[in-house]
């Protein structure tokens, strides 16, 4: 979540409430966060020196506006250009796609290729599991359960194939394929 907040603040300095609205207006389509988790991540980014208070309104609640520091810019770039980790591939891929316009044009296609590589890796793993399941004996009375579990795996494989095709097409439209 910290990197998503950095991305939103790189687009424009914002207050905590502006960040919450930013999540609801666009990021929530691929990344879920409560206002409490956004606040904790914001506090952590401040502590780490990746963001700073750009201004504080006087009087009332003293609303703070946050901006990204140079260290935060480096952290964001490192995240964008690093391998995709974690178990939630879709959120990791779509987060990077959402903020791809913040990267230099020459850096964008390599980011897309890293997303493709992660999708290919997951697809290989799911396909191997699919092959292994061909040899599994289903216990008596568990055929219906196994069929729906298998359908879940089939959906995952189809989803990964779609994502791979989509990201390949998008990358091809934005630059040459690396050798």
Average pLDDT over residues 88-101: 94
Q: What percent of the chain has pLDDT over 70?
A: 95
pLDDT of residue 14: 93
Q: Which residue has the higher pLDDT, 177 or 70?
A: 70
Q: What is the domain count for the chain?
A: 2
Q: Is the pLDDT assigned to residue 179 strictly greater than 50?
A: no
pLDDT of residue 142: 78
What SS3 class is residue 68?
strand
Whether 46 and 97 map to the same domain: the answer is: no
> What average pLDDT is seen over the chain?
90
Residues 141-154 pLDDT 10s: 877 888 888 899 99
Q: Tell me the HSE value of 153 on the side-chain side, using a 13 A CA sphere.
A: 17
Distances 157 to 29, 50, 91, 167 between C-alpha atoms, Å: 22, 38, 17, 15
CATH assignment of the domain containing 34: 1.10.10.10
Residues 13-33 pLDDT 10s: 999 999 998 888 888 888 888
Give the domain-ending residue among 47, 82, 117: 82
Residues 113-145 pLDDT 10s: 999 999 999 999 999 998 888 777 887 887 788
Q: Which structural domain range is residue 12 located in?
A: 1-82
Burial class (CB in 10 A: 0-12, 13-18, 19+), 72: buried
Residues 98-111 pLDDT 10s: 999 999 999 999 99
Q: Which residue has the tokens 């994502």?
A: 163
């Amino acid at each position: 979540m910290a990197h998503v907040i950095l991305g939103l603040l790189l687009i424009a300095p914002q207050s905590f409430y502006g960040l919450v609205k930013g999540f609801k207006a666009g990021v929530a389509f691929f990344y879920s966060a409560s206002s409490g988790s956004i606040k904790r991540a914001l506090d952590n980014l401040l502590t780490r020196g990746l963001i700073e208070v750009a201004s504080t309104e006087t009087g009332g609640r003293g609303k703070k506006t946050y901006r990204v520091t140079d260290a935060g810019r480096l952290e964001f770039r490192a995240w964008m250009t690093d391998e995709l980790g974690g178990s939630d591939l879709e959120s990791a891929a779509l987060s990077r796609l959402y903020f791809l316009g913040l990267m230099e044009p020459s850096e964008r296609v390599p980011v897309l290729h890293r997303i493709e590589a992660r999708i290919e890796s997951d697809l290989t793993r799911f396909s191997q599991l699919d092959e292994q399941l061909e040899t599994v004996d289903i216990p008596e009375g568990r055929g219906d359960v196994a069929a729906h579990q298998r359908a879940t795996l089939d959906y995952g494989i189809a989803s990964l194939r779609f994502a791979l095709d989509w990201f390949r097409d998008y990358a091809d439209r934005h630059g040459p394929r690396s050798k």
